[in-house]
Amino acid sequence: MLYSMARQAVSEKDMAIGMRLVYNYMTGGVALTALVAYLLYTINGGAFLAQIATSGLMWVFLIAQLGIVLGMGFGMHKLQPAVALSLFAGYAVLNGFTLAPILLVYTGASIVNAFLVTTAMFAGMSFVGYTTKKSLSGLSTFFTMALIGLIAASVINIFMNSDAMSTAISFIAIPLFAGLTAYDTQRLKEFFMVEGADEANRARVAISGALSLYINFIAMFIHLLKFIGVARSE
């Protein structure tokens, strides 16, 4: 009995350490993205950013981000924690380049409002995932299929350029990534409870988990901005 209680205490300690790492890395990634985007916006009154936004470099940044995500996803177990963290930081920097053009499109106040709403939604859904006793593992297939469908619709809309389809995509994406936030939080918590004692492995999973939550947060922010953002021309 005493051994079981002691083991439970150790597991909860490992879990707390792991989750703290996840949130610290994720918060750092969001802050790094925001800093890069803001610095780009301040260069030459936004003219430099406008040049980047209309150049082929944006595709290079997007492809590089996709490469990092795939590389971390398939090779995370082989990466040293320092390398994985560097890749995550690189992804956050590149995302700063790809997100910076929104500063030219929307007013600063509406961007801040969207960010605050996203933060509240993210915190709420992550809390749900952290505290709920109900297993969310059964939703894995649903989330996978929904993500595939969302990506396919987004790619199609690049060529269609339909405002109605873009609105529909955002309408689906917001609750989808909110649900993924709860799902990923519970998945990470359960992993750290069982296997969080290995420091190197814990660090790898924390970085991988931070990337997942970071992507959820950014996706919610972008799609919320489409609904509540105020264009600078208005």
DSSP structure string for 79-146: S-HHHHHHHHHHHHHHHHHHHTTHHHHB-HHHHHHHHHHHHHHHHHHHHHHHH--S--GGGHHHHHHH
pLDDT digit string (tens) for the chain, length 234 residues: 543 444 455 577 888 889 999 999 999 999 999 999 999 999 988 888 888 888 888 999 999 999 999 988 888 788 888 999 999 999 999 999 999 999 999 999 999 999 999 999 999 999 999 999 999 988 888 998 999 999 899 889 888 888 888 889 999 999 999 999 999 999 999 888 877 557 778 888 899 999 999 999 999 999 999 999 888 864
Residue 234 lies in a domain: no
**pTM attached to this predicted model:** 0.91
Structural domain boundaries, residue 159: 2-228
Q: How many CA atoms lie within 13 A of 110 on its CB side?
A: 19
Give Cα 211 distance to the centre of its chain: 6
Q: How many CB atoms lie within 10 A of CB 7?
A: 10
User: Rounded to whole angstroms, how far apart are CA atoms 46 and 106?
Assistant: 13
Residue 206: phi and psi, rounded to 5, are -65, -40
Residue 186 lies in a domain: yes
Residue 131 lies in a domain: yes
Residue identified by tokens 């290995």 is: 198
| Contact yes or no for 97/204 (Cβ under 8 A) | no
| Contact yes or no for 57/101 (Cβ under 8 A) | no
Give Cα 148 distance to the centre of its chain: 17
CA angle 69, 148, 214 (to 5 degrees): 40
161: region left, alpha or beta (phi > 0 left; psi from -120 to 50 alpha): left
Residue 51 lies in a domain: yes
Residue 218 lies in a domain: yes
How many distinct structural domains can be found in the chain?
1
> Quick check: helix, strand or coil at residue 214?
helix
* Eight-class DSSP state of 231: B
Residue 233 lies in a domain: no
| Contact yes or no for 87/68 (Cβ under 8 A) | yes
Model pLDDT, residue 3: 38
